[in-house]
Structure 1
């Protein structure tokens, strides 16, 4: 079973409009609401792939109850620790004309020290049954910067590999704990290492040596493997077995929200199955692209996934 941790869970609300125009009123054509947060999205994809998974994290207030209710309806097992603060909401506005998405992210509730200790107790129980742990997303207010480092150490103490998908101080603090894999995007990789900023959400135009050097720096700081997301340009991986670049055969229009979470789900599946790194990366790129083709984060288009999986270009880097 792959356990996912979402410390800053959310109720994701999606509005679809014909065309998004600033400073204007809009008639919403469709509304969707479901449990979200990066770890929840990873569990959704794993569940769709037929793999056992458990959603853990923090949830509170009426919004937290809505998150639990929607997870039950989706038949996703959960063990979310209750807190007093109100679980955050995210609002995504999809422009149907362009396919672009504008997202508003609330910061999340303040978590008290006693609530954090309660979660750690719950986590210890869950990790004993895990084949891998996925730690995803931002930290809500009130949690220490080394929260993920604490969870990585707890998992490693039980021989369970931890996959980390976060950024900023939380990422830097967790490296020394030895996560099995970290998955920053190009911007987060630059932020974590002090390299020059790449273009937003893509490694295009960013010197490949700088990307490799930044990934190697994260490995030197403690991560066993680093897989950097380059947006529509695919993935770059630096691992104990070598370095690779994996690129999709085509670009798909759609909603990129959740594409990185789908890639993490594929990487977690590959890690627990023990498949080669090139196969893991090809699957991650194909599943990420298939998530772009799906309307909501945590979903993917199986037809696109099957079509692209064998066509991803994975080549070694010196």
Structure 2
């Protein structure tokens, strides 16, 4: 089983329209709601790939009830921590023919008791866990090194950890030794102050992450370890248009599977690039075009970096 932790989940609302124009009124073509947050998206992808998962997340208010109902309807196993007074945030994605614009609410504040309940929930699943995924922002009220606590807990059980976070939530957890981190180019720059992705990834690896896999958008993935570095990308390059929301989460799902199965990193990168690209073809986060995924698997190039 692969366990995902989403400390700041959301009710994702997607508006689809022909074209987004600033400072104008728009007629929305379709509206879609589903449980969201980075770890939830990862769990959704994993389930579509036939993997057993459990999603751990706090929920509160009417939007939290809607998140829980959607998880149940989708057949996603979950362990939810009720919030005494907080309300699960909402995110709005406005998707047109070319791209997506995101509006993200900040989310509720978690008390110390609520965070302890979430940690206890994770601990209860670790004995049967093959990989732990920690994804997204930390909620208000939680210490910046909170992910480090979960990394240390997982390592004590011999469970590999994928950490997908930014800012202090990422940097404060590095000393705990996550197995793999997956920043994007902007997050690399924010964490290190370095514009060169390769140098920035090496710096984070030396700070405690055993493997750094950086997503570089259309340029694919850069992986840095103590024993080697690789670039993985689609060749020929594809002009993929659609909704990129959740593409990074799909890559995390592939990397978590690789850790669970002890797959060599280059092979895991192949699946991560293909799955990430196939997600852009889907209108909603956590979903992917299976035919595109299988096609892209044959088009990924992996070269030493």
TM-score w.r.t. length of structure 1: 0.93
Instruction: State how far apart, in whole Å, the 2-side matches of 1:147 and 1:252 are.
Output: 36
Q: How does 1:18-97 map to 2 (within 5 A)?
A: 18-84=18-84, 85-96=86-97
Aligned to 2:232: 246
Instruction: State how far apart, in whole Å, the 2-side matches of 1:226 and 1:259 are.
Output: 17
Aligned to 2:142: 143
Aligned to 1:300: 288
Deviation of residue 17 (structure 1)?
Answer: 1.5
Aligned to 1:259: 247
Look up the SS of the partner of 1:28 in the other structure.
coil
Aligned to 1:200: none
Q: How does 1:1-318 map to 2 (within 5 A)?
A: 1-84=1-84, 85-96=86-97, 99-196=98-195, 210-249=196-235, 250-317=238-305
Look up the SS of the partner of 1:122 in the other structure.
helix
Moved over 4 A (4+): none
Instruction: State how far apart, in whole Å, the 2-side matches of 1:95 and 1:292 are.
Output: 13
Deviation of residue 58 (structure 1)?
Answer: 1.1
Instruction: State how far apart, in whole Å, the 2-side matches of 1:276 and 1:115 are.
Output: 37
Look up the SS of the partner of 1:128 in the other structure.
helix
Instruction: State how far apart, in whole Å, the 1-side matches of 2:223 and 2:198 are.
Output: 8
Instruction: State how far apart, in whole Å, the 2-side matches of 1:155 and 1:185 are.
Output: 24
Structure 2: give runs of 5+ residues left out of the alignment: none
Deviation of residue 241 (structure 1)?
Answer: 3.5
Structure 1 vs Structure 2 CA RMSD = 0.9
Instruction: State how far apart, in whole Å, the 1-side matches of 2:154 and 2:226 are.
Output: 20
Look up the SS of the partner of 2:172 in the other structure.
helix
Deviates more, 1:118-127 or 1:104-113: 118-127
Q: Deviations over 1:89-133 (max 9, x none)?
A: 00011123xx22111000000111111111111111012221000
Aligned to 1:207: none
Deviation of residue 251 (structure 1)?
Answer: 2.9
